[in-house]
Structure 1
Amino acid sequence: MSRHGVALVFRQEFLVRYRTGRWRWLMAAWVGVVFLFTVLFEAGFSSSFSSYRGSLAWAGERWQGIPLFGALMLFVLALALIISPALTAQSINGDRERGTLATLQITRLAAGDIAVGKLLAGWAVGVGALALTLPFVGWSILRGGVGIWRAAVVLFVVALLVGVVCAVSQALSAMLARSITSALLSYVTVFALSLGTLLAFVLALPLSGGGYYGDREDRVWWLVAPNPFVVLADSAPQVPMKRDPKTGDLEAPPVGDPLGEIGRDVRRMRFSPEEERAYYDSYDGSGDWPTSPVWPYGLAFNLLLGAGSVMITVRRLQTPVRELTKGTRIA
């Protein structure tokens, strides 16, 4: 695999995608949906927030971007997981069905050049769609409470998760002869990572052997660690406390933080019942839970899944081919 070969395949694939009119319509629809969500959320939140009076409303005006940013990022991740399989689920078997893949394979391009170049082209479209959300992210920052560092970390994690889904979808495209089958299984994989992990956690919780103390979440927390929404929420930097300009005291956000709340909940799962009881007995009313992050395990799982998918794609593209899947064409 060479840098020049990867760049050559990437440029070719990206130009083909760019010249296709449907992707422009897809990007326009993406911006429209995100815009509509932002407007509706702002209207609903502003209506609810206006019911508060006194110091809470005054203080909350400096934190109003927090719930908007958290809800927006969760919504964007959900949309990204929906469109990501469509970016690469037909990149290999689609070219094979059209008889154009063999044209690349008979050149001096290595299998790694083709696999990585096609993956980067599909991933670039996903990152481009993510970049179109920057104006809405900027609006949430202007609303207050969301730092640039927090926004950058969250966007980076979303981009990584999009890349993982693209890699898995491309591997399925390389392994399966029919493009419709690879696309379907790509969405099944997304379902397994998002809803499937939660379902497995719920089903395993009664079997965790909690005994007198009840269910033992600390024994099955790892089942939800790979969940993309858990990874995103737990990896988001905590919202820093701000100093009240009137009293000089540090204050926590008076408004909800979707990312922070999900992150704290999944981190508490790692505590055993005995540790929770000991902490409550010694709690003096100050500070927050001493927690252990979950996102490193989940993100590592997803990155390994993506790396393994790239290796499978490279292996399936190697020539000469000794055995062909039934119904597969070369040219």
Structure 2
Amino acid sequence: MTLAHIGTVARLELTQRLRSVGWYILLGIFALILLAVTGLAFAVYSYTGVTGAGVYSIVVNMVLLLVVLVSPTLSGNAINGDREAATLAAVQVTAASTGDIMLGKLLAAIATGGVFLLVALPFLAVSLFGGGVRPATFAVSLLVLAAEIIIVAAVGVGLSGLIARPLFSVAATYLVVAALTIGTLIAFGLGGTALRSEVTGYSRPYDNAGNVDCERWDSYTYETPRFDRVWWALAANPFVVLADATPTAFDDSGWPVDLFGQIKYGLRSAQQSPAEYRWDECVAMGNDMTPTAEEVIDNSVPSWFVGLGIQIVIAGGLFAGAWARTRTPARMLPPGTRIA
């Protein structure tokens, strides 16, 4: 493998993309969506003192959403599309090795996903002027976003090498992405609701005059979902990985100031097992013992590295399988596969 050959393959792949008018229309639509989302985000966070942090987190999550929606179309036919057009064999008989072809295709897929990030940079810059975005939040969020772009691109290129028909490989890429984004939420919701257990609740009784009796407790039992047993299902979700890895900033009351922290708080809250519930009307207001979001996050376990590891294993396995399938001379190909 040589960098020159990898660059040549990537340049050829990108040239085909850049010739399409639809590519520029897609980028224009992407920019318009970000413009609308940024404006709405400023309106939503206008009541806070750290508008920029909230807007920045929304824009980054929107970029990730659009990348996982568009990237499968751009990378899901990288190899079998050339095979079907009878151009892959012409490249395979050159000095470019299988590794050059695979890495070149992957580099091109990453570059197309990276273009969306470049288009989003002006909107990210605007959010920075709102203040509140810490350097660590900015750096880590962009690094994780770049990692997710690479992973989705690797999944698409891998499936395009394993599946003979471009239409099926694009659909399969969407299914993998949907399993990581939507499927994990469904598994979490259904699993936690199905696994229920009884919890005891306590409250102060009322006397005949309607006054609270602060000397006694009334107890009762009820069933509650056990999301603490299935919270790990969310670990591989790209949006959860992004939020869980990004450092969280809190306001004076201990509440996260951006969407990253709010998603992280939801995940970390799900880790807490349901304890007995007490509602004490005899306690003065302001003495609430309920832990703040900051305390919940500080006393829980991060899972972003596990989720990112799962994604890397999936993407790496698919990419390695496609590498083996693309290697020449081919020992076995699906019936009807065009090679020249």
Q: CA RMSD in A?
A: 2.7
The separation in 2 between residues aligned to 1:37 and 1:207, in whole angstroms, is 36
Q: Does 1:231 align with 2:231?
A: no
Partner of 2:315: 306
By relative contact order (CA 8 Å, sep 6+), the higher-ranking structure is 1
Are the aligned partners of 1:204 and 1:220 in contact in 2 as well (CA < 8 Å)? yes
Residue-by-residue CA offset, 1:68-102 (whole Å, 9 max, x unaligned): 12222222211111111012111111101110000
The structure-2 alpha-carbon separation of the partners of 1:276 and 1:235, relative to structure 1 and needing over 3 Å to count, comes to farther
The separation in 1 between residues aligned to 2:72 and 2:117, in whole angstroms, is 15
The structure-2 alpha-carbon separation of the partners of 1:255 and 1:299, relative to structure 1 and needing over 3 Å to count, comes to closer
Q: Higher mean Cα deviation, 93-102 or 75-84?
A: 75-84
The separation in 2 between residues aligned to 1:255 and 1:292, in whole angstroms, is 17
Are the aligned partners of 1:66 and 1:255 in contact in 2 as well (CA < 8 Å)? no
Secondary structure of 1:322 counterpart:
coil
Partner of 1:244: none
Aligned partner letter, 2:34:
V
The separation in 2 between residues aligned to 1:76 and 1:275, in whole angstroms, is 41
Secondary structure of 2:116 counterpart:
helix
Q: 2:59 aligns with which of 56, 72, 97?
A: 72
The residue correspondences of 1:136-285 to structure 2 (distance < 5 A) are: 136-208=123-195, 210-212=197-199, 214-239=224-249, 251=252, 256-273=257-274
Structure 2 residue runs of 5 or longer lacking an equivalent are 201-223, 279-287
The structure-2 alpha-carbon separation of the partners of 1:257 and 1:88, relative to structure 1 and needing over 3 Å to count, comes to same
Q: Does 1:20 align with 2:20?
A: yes
TM superposition shift of 1:158: 1.5
Partner of 2:8: 8
The structure-2 alpha-carbon separation of the partners of 1:103 and 1:264, relative to structure 1 and needing over 3 Å to count, comes to same
The separation in 2 between residues aligned to 1:226 and 1:298, in whole angstroms, is 4
Task: From the CA coordinates, give the structure whose radius of gyration is larger.
Answer: 2
Are the aligned partners of 2:75 and 2:157 in contact in 1 as well (CA < 8 Å)? yes
The structure-2 alpha-carbon separation of the partners of 1:255 and 1:303, relative to structure 1 and needing over 3 Å to count, comes to closer
Q: Higher mean Cα deviation, 10-19 or 132-141?
A: 10-19
Higher helix share goes to which structure? 1
TM superposition shift of 1:275: 11
Partner of 1:29: 29
The separation in 1 between residues aligned to 2:337 and 2:292, in whole angstroms, is 66
Secondary structure of 1:177 counterpart:
coil
- TM-score where L is the length of structure 1: 0.84
The structure-2 alpha-carbon separation of the partners of 1:163 and 1:321, relative to structure 1 and needing over 3 Å to count, comes to same
Higher strand share goes to which structure? 2
The separation in 1 between residues aligned to 2:237 and 2:291, in whole angstroms, is 34
The separation in 1 between residues aligned to 2:114 and 2:18, in whole angstroms, is 14
The residue correspondences of 1:42-61 to structure 2 (distance < 5 A) are: 42-46=42-46, 49=47, 60-61=48-49
Could you tell me the percent identity over the aligned residues?
A: 36
Are the aligned partners of 2:254 and 2:294 in contact in 1 as well (CA < 8 Å)? no
The separation in 2 between residues aligned to 1:286 and 1:118, in whole angstroms, is 43
The structure-2 alpha-carbon separation of the partners of 1:108 and 1:163, relative to structure 1 and needing over 3 Å to count, comes to same
Partner of 1:54: none
- TM-score where L is the length of structure 2: 0.82
Partner of 2:338: 329
The residue correspondences of 1:71-150 to structure 2 (distance < 5 A) are: 71-150=58-137
Aligned partner letter, 1:18:
L
Secondary structure of 1:272 counterpart:
coil
The separation in 2 between residues aligned to 1:171 and 1:193, in whole angstroms, is 16
Secondary structure of 1:133 counterpart:
helix
Secondary structure of 1:39 counterpart:
helix
Secondary structure of 2:334 counterpart:
coil
Q: Does 1:288 align with 2:288?
A: no
Are the aligned partners of 1:225 and 1:295 in contact in 2 as well (CA < 8 Å)? yes
Aligned partner letter, 2:235:
A
Aligned partner letter, 1:306:
A
Are the aligned partners of 2:75 and 2:160 in contact in 1 as well (CA < 8 Å)? yes
TM superposition shift of 1:42: 2.5
Structure 1 residue runs of 5 or longer lacking an equivalent are 50-59, 242-250
TM superposition shift of 1:189: 1.6
Q: Does 1:316 align with 2:317?
A: no
Residue-by-residue CA offset, 1:32-85 (whole Å, 9 max, x unaligned): 211122123324544xx3xxxxxxxxxx33x11122122222222111111110
Number of residue pairs the alignment of both structures matches: 307
